Amino acid sequence: MGQGPTGTTLTNARLLTPHGIRAGWLRAENQRITALGTGEAPQSETEAVDAGGRWVLPGAVDIHVHGGAGAAFSDADPERAMRIVEFNRSQGVTTLVGGLVTAAPEDTLDQIAALAEVADADGIAGVYLEGPYIAESKCGAHDPALLRAPDLAEFARMLKAGRGHVRMITVAPELPGSLELIRAAVSEGVIAAVGHTDATYDQARAAFDAGATVATHVYNQMRPLHHREPGPIAAALNDERVTVELINDGVHVHPGAARLVFDNAGGDRVALITDAMSATGLGDGEYTLGKLRVRVEGGRARIAETGQIASSTIVLPDAVRRAVHTMGVPLETAVHAATAVPARALGLAGVGSLTAGGRADLLLLDDDLSVAAVMHHGEWVTRP
């Protein structure tokens, strides 16, 4: 008895490629995109799937997410971490980094070690440390009692626990020892980000000169922009070396301010993120973020005791739709900000664009930009 098709050829597709929109076809075999082109697809032994004229674009890449489907990456449980991964894949996020919030030193090491197991199994693309080296005045949903000054010895223990999977760390550059930690991170291949900070413009510039290349959720938990002290927002927007994260959920940042980021940083430096928490996908109720209680009402997550905005409850394709429909960002630019830009910022190879040889992580979108189907590593998560 002969074997069935060993791959998939999508036909009748609107492909969003690095070279623009193309009407044509795409072939996926052995977890990779093996070919794509315009017009009719050449004959092959792969399964032919009619995309029905839908948009076909790379799977979304979320480099700043903390949880979903009732689980958090800080649970230090590989099975619960995979619940977040599988939920995100079903929603069109085919690559994500496991985000941790500030915790006690030993708890942090346990969390990193658990996520390293998930990364070993190709569940996540690495571990992101949002803290503990951040400013108390801009700590947001991080427990202020657990914040601490940059510590190279502790950071070395974090790297050891991560076994090569620690991918990014956020640091407030005004803290003593921050520039040394940024340099140490960069020397170990870890992306350094500036965020949760009350830094001046010059302090933020010094961090970027030391090797930091990402601005953590710009505007949020940062010294605000002022015409005489522009602070880290202007430092990031003005620096061509810096990728600027943006939470585009309509809660964290006003659409006008979000559009300002696209207009000033340009479409090649904005990375859409979610900063999503465990409540994502579950609806309103009470949840936890780290050790803090968070109440979600109408999809808005706030710290129960203070009412301060916590994480979001969106998935990344939601941010793309909002950018296009609410802010008027061109589709190609919005998709680029949720795929190729974050992938490049974290050095994630083979993801984020429709190119031959890249991973077969794909989204099919209807005309209203809702997700119609998802492919991960060449296998359908949800079929068209």
Q: Which residues are designated catalytic?
A: 275
CA angle 201, 204, 206 (to 5 degrees): 110
Residue 104 in contact with residue 131, Cβ under 8 Å?
A: no
Give the Cα-Cα-Cα angle 340, 169, 179 (nearest 5 degrees).
Answer: 115
Give me the DSSP letters along 275-333: -B-TTTTT-SEEEEETTEEEEEETTEEEETTT--B--B---HHHHHHHHHHTT---HHH
Place of tokens 């430092």: 235
Phi, psi dihedrals of residue 231, rounded to the nearest 5°: 65, -165
Contacts of 235 (CB under 8 A, 6+ apart): 194, 199, 201, 204, 205, 208, 242
Residue 158 token pair = 């974090």
- Give the ranges where the chain is alpha helix by DSSP (H): 78-91, 105-120, 152-162, 178-187, 201-210, 231-237, 255-265, 316-325, 331-337, 340-345
39 within 8 A of 78, measured Cβ to Cβ: no
What is the number of other CB atoms lying within 10 angstroms of the CB of residue 229? 12
**Residue type at position 233:** I
Alpha carbon 365 to its chain centroid, in Å, reads 20
* Rounded to 5°, angle at Cα 93 from 321 and 14: 60
In this structure, are residues 60 and 93 in contact, taking their beta carbons and an 8 Å threshold?
yes
Beta carbons within 8 Å of 89's beta carbon, 6+ residues apart: 374, 376, 381
Identify whether the C-beta of residue 299 lies closer than 8 Å to the C-beta of residue 150. Answer: no
